[in-house]
Amino acid sequence: MRRTLFNEDHEAFRETIRAFIEAEVVPVYDEWFAAGQAPREFYYKLAELGVFGIRVDEEYGGAGIDSYKFEAVLYEETARAGVSFGGSGVHVLLGLPYIKLLASDEQKKRYLPKFVSGEEMWAIAMTEPGTGSDLAGMKTTAKLSEDGTHYVLNGAKTFITGGVHADRMIVCARTAAPTKEDRRHGISLFVVDTKAEGYSVGRKLDKLGLKTSDTAELAFVDVKVPVEDLLGEENKGFYYLGHNLASERWGIAFGAYAQAKAAVRFAKQYVQDRVVFGQPVAAFQNTKFELASCQAEVDAAEAVADRATEALDAGELTPAEAASAKLFCTEVAHRVIDRCLQLHGGYGFMNEYPIARLYADNRVNRIYGGTSEIMKTIIAKDMGL
């Protein structure tokens, strides 16, 4: 079946990105892996390439293209090469939708030019120690000052990807207590300058996978946030989070599909080159059957991912559909990558092989952005169960 998701512009972009990865990422990726993060300077190169401004309006320095398909190309090409762009993914996939949805014209003028240029990298701080997926249970507070000029932020966050390099952090905090009728009431969103007094970055977390992304703990002690940096309306933060979770979950779904596709590519190349018992591993019937099954699963995941992309671009991707896409694609990736690693034998366990890194990177897909169990709960509720 002919794929219809991408057009000539997307394929031209793909060629540019593939060449960029080969020149700027592959030669130094082992250094990033060892350091546990991509260097901050690399993000300026992505900005120069135009990656950060694709979906930003032209008046703020962007390309003004209202589509996620170029980001889909990025997912496919980084997975294909067995690399990542560090923690920069949250800048566009997580940060930008909140600015576009909630920022006033004045805020957009302040935020977006530096967003596009890479001068200010963005991330979002939702999860707290002890709360996990229960965002309504957050305890970080933001209290309005007596003179009404600023909020005072106190609390802590964890598992914040992009947390080390971020210049602007969207922080979710309580501006009012939850009610008996609605635990989600009282959450607001703030754009916090990470250089503000009382804002601190704690440990850079040592993760199982995604080694080149900077994931950290954050702490806020009497951080003053100007009222001009409240994003959207007070106490409506949980609604805003729910609105933008669809695009976040699309990103995880599409990224997982791209990883599965890459795993088949890595395994196919390996079994064709590796000789055992006098013949290539690819010559054994079991190898052929395993890869054929994996390819069939990847084909199905591609169809789901592409359909979700079209729906997202059309503004029609529902929370339940996003949850379904995430659940399906991440579970497919889990199975396919595991089987492709098995075909590598002992070498699949070595980090010098991309399949090993892919195996570790993929595991979090069924956890962040909402666990698989949360996805099933959303889907079941949509089914009326």
Amino acid at 342: Q
Task: Please state the separation of Cα 263 from the chain's center in Å.
Answer: 19
Closest CA to 170 of 194, 203, 206: 194
Residues 6+ apart with CB under 8 A from 225: 142, 150, 151, 152, 153, 171, 190, 191, 192, 196
CA distance 92 to 54: 9
Question: For residue 27, with 0-12 CB atoms within 10 Å meaning exposed, 13-18 middle and 19 or more buried, which class applies?
Answer: exposed
Closest CA to 256 of 198, 298, 318, 213: 298
- DSSP 8-state assignment for residue 27: G
Place of tokens 């991330």: 123
Residues 6+ apart with CB under 8 A from 259: 79, 333, 337, 358, 361, 362, 365
> Is residue 248 among the annotated active site residues?
yes
Amino acid at 202: G
The SS3 of residue 315 is coil
Residues 6+ apart with CB under 8 A from 151: 142, 143, 144, 145, 173, 175, 190, 224, 225, 227, 230
Catalytic residue, chosen from 76, 120, 128, 248, is 248
Residues with catalytic roles: 248
